[in-house]
Structure 1
Amino acid sequence: MQDSKNLVIAIVLCLLILVGWSALSERMGWISKPDPAVVAQQQEQARKEAEAEKAKQLASATTPDGKPLPAFTPAPGREVTVRTPLYTAVFHTGGGIVRSFTLNDYRSGVAADSPDINMVDAVTAKFSPLGLVVNKQPSWSNGVWSYEGADSYDVAEGKSVTLTFVGEVDKVRVARELTFSADTYLVKERVRLATPEEASRSVRLEFTVAADSRFAAGGNYDAMRIAWDNDGSLAEESSVEKLAAVVTQRGRIYWAGPTSTYFLMAIMPAVSDNVGLRAWTQEGVFRASLEPQEIVVEPGREAVCDVSYWIGPKERARLLAVNEELAKSVDLGMFSLIGKGLLWLLAKFHGFVGNWGVAIILLTVLIKAVFWPLTAKSYASMEQMRRLKPQMDEIRERCKNDKQAMNKEVMALYKTYGVNPASGCIPLLIQLPVFFGLYQALLTSIELRHASFITYLPGTDMLWLADLSSKDPYYITPVIMGVTMFIQQRFNPPASDPTQQKIMMALPFVFTVLFLSFPSGLVIYWLVNNILSILQQWMMSRKRRLDK
């Protein structure tokens, strides 16, 4: 028992000596407290060593083929210029956003000194087109970047060049590799991702584009909108009210982006399944983004995501060279197959004569020649109806109070003379798909943009049909077209019903007003078609008179 007490006393005395000695030493200055500044310096050194270790681990991350990630040292942003035969593009190294994208072959106006079209002007550049969003964070403002390369590149025919922007966003190493080719408006991008974390990391990427509404002339024939291809079907939204509230969709999105009738800025993910789309407007700029499926980045390994961008004119041949889905951005309507064939013929005629207006006239003559027998049959049927009109009027007057009897006698009259009242309409119905196909083809063909027919009014220096994609500035062709419609009506038998007669008489005026704002290339087609129809009707009338 005494031994236990002695042990307890010994332990207490030892503790008192240890505690008391430390307190006495500090009080007497025999030992000093750690300097806070030294402690902070040691902690900062430890943090830097930890970051260096993480950077070393990140640098050792490799692609599946064993290539290491590019080196990364944050640097101030600067501009890099890429020149190709088709365009001149300016990018900012702080995230790889595009500052300017000027098309070399397309001017903003008809005049020779008009500036070239810039797909990313000063207004659009504020919204960082081609900006990459990483885990909901804009990489151009919430990341640090570096770039090792020249300040400008000239890409010769048949060649390509790749710019690599390396950065870190949300503790994820990002390398953006943008490839530009001399013979296309397609810009390819490969995004390479790696993480220094010891565990796997989920990363969501969002690719963005933007375009100013000024790239569309406005109105019904060239409206700015957001378009996308969802599982092979073209969809569009031009309502500013709906886009202001943000339009969203998820599905098999092949491409999406702002578009006008003639120009397109679109994103195309390499993997189109389960892609999220957002479309909206902001300060008159139409914006769109695509978010592919979530990417899992394994430690010490690299993940890759591929996309492409189309920034330029909607030239069908170049779009088709990319893929059929992108070519659907040129909307040829429900009769697209006919429209494609007519566009091919139009281009062939242009190759022979070198003038798009003359090519439209030649194409109209060819279409009229093909349908000449059908229209002749239609006119012959209308002539038969004209000859029967006195008898039909007599029947209607006699049976005006007995509609059933009137219809019975009229049908008997048709049967007696072998007249089919629908025979005049059927040939015209057969031609409608061709008319609508050509209408849509001429309306959407970028070849007609700024293509001239008769550049100046004869005897003046005033621009006239200098742009077949815009309306006639002096409304000369629409008025003449309305006159030809009125003349054409004089060859047709008048409708038996007074109300129908009034409607038919008003049609030339209605069509004239409608065609005032039509692209002049379309007006030329309808005008020439009317003139040829009048000629055919006159020839048939003359032949009947000679036969008598």
Structure 2
Amino acid sequence: MDDKNQNRNLILAMALSMGVILIWSVLFPPATPPVDPNPTDPAAVATTDSAGNDVTLTPPSVDSTATATAANAPAAQPVAETERLEINTPSLSGSIALTGGRLDDLMLRDYRETLAPDSEPVRLFTPSGEEGAYYALYGWTPAGTLDYEQVPGPETPWTIEIGDVLTADSPVTLRWDNGSGLIFRRTVSVDEDYLFTISQSVENTGESEVRLAPYGIVTRHGLPSDLQNFFVIHEGVVQVSDGTLNDVKYDQMPDFDYIDREAANAEITEVTGSGWIGFTSKYWLAALVPQSGQPFTAVSRYIESQDIYQTQARLPAVTVAPGETSESTTRLFAGAKEWETLRRYQDEEGIDRFVDAIDWGWFFFLTKPIFWVLHHVHALIGNMGISIILLTLFLKALLFPLAYRSYVSMAKMKELQPKMEELKERAGDDKQKLQTAMMELYKREKVNPASGCLPILLQIPIFFSLYKVIANASEMRHAPFFGWLTDLSAPDPSSIYNLFGLFPWDAPMAGTTMATIFIGVLPILLGISMFLQQKLNPAPADPTQAMIFSYMPWIFMFMLGHFASGLLVYWITNNTVTFTQQYIIMRSHGHRPDVFGNILSTFKRKKKSE
């Protein structure tokens, strides 16, 4: 082999190696460093002007035209030390802290942390002072002559005025008298699913008017412990503002341009019509939802010194005259991102674009209908694994005309291979002569070399959308398939280490290096399906290229081995159908793929190179 060919092969090998490294770095980014789970919760400042509309992050003034400021001050008492009001609904359990009136103890009855029979329900909200604190706080902020001691804050001792337990049928009302002529009440109701309604009122029994503004805050201390950090899953802020969807990942929040007085990086959006804002994860959502048509200020902020993430809904300030009462009603969604539930809230409660809390991605016009089909197939069959297989088969059948054109073009190109080799021998080193001869050959045989690529390119967005749907569907969580595959959202639990359960010792724990090396049944089937698909065609004549391509299926087998089982079921099905389609079409056009011979030649080449 001459130096020119050696250099070309070296560059090709380096490019392919860098491609593998790049894919690995995207799919498996570095782990997030641990954070302090119990930081102090600083003040969260929000301001409006005297008309209650514009937002400027400035300290409150003392005159009647001052700005109103939303505050979320020091951490509340731990759950065990705070008197509480029980929450008990068909979907939720937990409690509200009377100190501060925080909704900070919430579990989802229909979802368990693990598949173990005695597993605890999924905890969505956790009190401040505990590891992974995550909660919602509502209140009023002072303006004019009021100060923070005259409005309810994080340490306000609320009392129960109406109700003993918050249920879907019985709201509760909390009361606090500030001793200076203002009586605050907070009525909390919840439906049978995940939507709370919080009505805050202030009664002015004093002799002068007061000015103050209502707010809602969702606060998270540090990053979530179950952060996926996976490129097809959005985790962080999700927001709809006047019909516009905006999402920001947690690691982007420190880069917000605006710096407020608490040295917090903030992003501020004025919502004039309708919208909502909150934090989303793969399966769960906590979102502040003002009433439809209610103007508000949506704020996302990150306080680096405390490692605190916040979303806020700040409503315009109101003036309450003596003897009058002002009331403000907002909502809070806290629960699972179930498609049917989100769609019902969108249609019946008027929550704009609420189904977009699910991460549909750039190809939403494809992911939404694909999910619709998967959802209804699963509802009909009851087995998510079979539903994934049937959906993959349906899409492959739908795209078969495109695939057929692609495979036919490839088959025709293979038929022309001997004639192309003859042209190369005749042309010698004259590249222009060779190119002209090939173009004449293509024209004479009515073959377009590019026609095989276009159908494949058109299929890529569709199957990426299917991949994204499977990665994000809440129905995947703890969904069983067959046998040992009891959770399609988790990696294959089988392992070569114990010969897939035949030996009397446990497989390596998921997430460890041993589990990555000693893969399970599905990853091996994935590698085999990729290998067989590759062997439909002879290996490249260049030994360097042949070596690199022969290793690719096995490299990806280990790289993708600890992905969710549902994704592997999809990939294996897709590879198997693609292999079958290509094999049949190639044979129908006179080309007989020698799969077995190509496999033997691979091993012979390896043996010869050794």
Query: TM-score, normalised to structure 1's length?
Result: 0.75
Structure 1 position 237 matched with structure 2 position 249: yes
Cα pair 2:218 2:278 within 8 Å, conserved:
yes
- 1:538 aligned counterpart, secondary structure: helix
Select the structure of larger CA radius of gyration. Answer: 1
The CA distance in 2 between the partners of 1:128 and 1:437, in whole Å, is 32
Structure 1 position 100 matched with structure 2 position 114: no
The CA distance in 1 between the partners of 2:318 and 2:288, in whole Å, is 18
Structure 1 position 482 matched with structure 2 position 501: no
- 1:334 aligned counterpart, secondary structure: coil
The CA distance in 2 between the partners of 1:437 and 1:526, in whole Å, is 13
- Residues 1:343 and 1:276: Cα distance change in structure 2 (over 3 Å): closer
Which amino acid in the other structure matches residue 206 of structure 1? Y
* Aligned residue number for residue 51 of structure 1: none
* Aligned residue number for residue 199 of structure 2: 190
Shift of 1:497: 8.3
The CA distance in 1 between the partners of 2:134 and 2:447, in whole Å, is 68
2:300 to 256, 278, 289: 278
Structure 1 position 262 matched with structure 2 position 267: no
The CA distance in 2 between the partners of 1:542 and 1:353, in whole Å, is 35
* Aligned residue number for residue 20 of structure 2: none
The CA distance in 2 between the partners of 1:273 and 1:325, in whole Å, is 17
1:132 to 135, 138, 145: 138
Superposition pairs for residues 424-463 of structure 1, below 5 Å?
Answer: 424-456=452-484
- Residues 1:175 and 1:128: Cα distance change in structure 2 (over 3 Å): farther
2:183 to 173, 182, 188: 173
The CA distance in 2 between the partners of 1:233 and 1:223, in whole Å, is 13
- Residues 1:285 and 1:446: Cα distance change in structure 2 (over 3 Å): farther
* Aligned residue number for residue 92 of structure 2: 87
Deviates more, 1:428-437 or 1:81-90: 428-437
Shift of 1:167: 1.9
* Aligned residue number for residue 152 of structure 1: 165
* Aligned residue number for residue 443 of structure 2: 415
- 2:135 aligned counterpart, secondary structure: coil
- 1:451 aligned counterpart, secondary structure: coil
Query: Could you tell me the percent identity over the aligned residues?
Result: 28
* Aligned residue number for residue 21 of structure 2: none
* Aligned residue number for residue 315 of structure 1: 338
- Residues 1:420 and 1:240: Cα distance change in structure 2 (over 3 Å): closer
The CA distance in 2 between the partners of 1:169 and 1:506, in whole Å, is 73
The CA distance in 2 between the partners of 1:123 and 1:399, in whole Å, is 78
* Aligned residue number for residue 467 of structure 1: 487
The CA distance in 2 between the partners of 1:251 and 1:408, in whole Å, is 62
* Aligned residue number for residue 12 of structure 2: none
Cα pair 1:145 1:167 within 8 Å, conserved:
yes
- Residues 1:247 and 1:272: Cα distance change in structure 2 (over 3 Å): farther
* Aligned residue number for residue 228 of structure 1: 239
Cα-to-partner distance string for 1:67-91 (whole Å, 9 max, x where unaligned): xxxxxxxxx9732112111111311
- Residues 1:522 and 1:198: Cα distance change in structure 2 (over 3 Å): same
Listed as ranges, the gaps of 5+ residues in structure 1 are 1-75, 457-464
Cα-to-partner distance string for 1:134-169 (whole Å, 9 max, x where unaligned): 3274834454432223432554xxxx3211112246
Which structure dedicates a bigger proportion of its chain to helix? Answer: 1
- Residues 1:390 and 1:292: Cα distance change in structure 2 (over 3 Å): farther
Cα pair 1:209 1:267 within 8 Å, conserved:
yes
The CA distance in 2 between the partners of 1:99 and 1:275, in whole Å, is 23
Structure 1 position 346 matched with structure 2 position 368: no
- 2:440 aligned counterpart, secondary structure: helix
Structure 1 position 250 matched with structure 2 position 269: yes
Superposition pairs for residues 357-368 of structure 1, below 5 Å?
Answer: 357-368=385-396
Superposition pairs for residues 48-87 of structure 1, below 5 Å?
Answer: 78-87=83-92
Deviates more, 1:263-272 or 1:185-194: 263-272
Cα pair 1:229 1:256 within 8 Å, conserved:
yes
Shift of 1:197: 4.8
* Aligned residue number for residue 353 of structure 2: 325
The CA distance in 1 between the partners of 2:567 and 2:371, in whole Å, is 13
* Aligned residue number for residue 385 of structure 1: 413
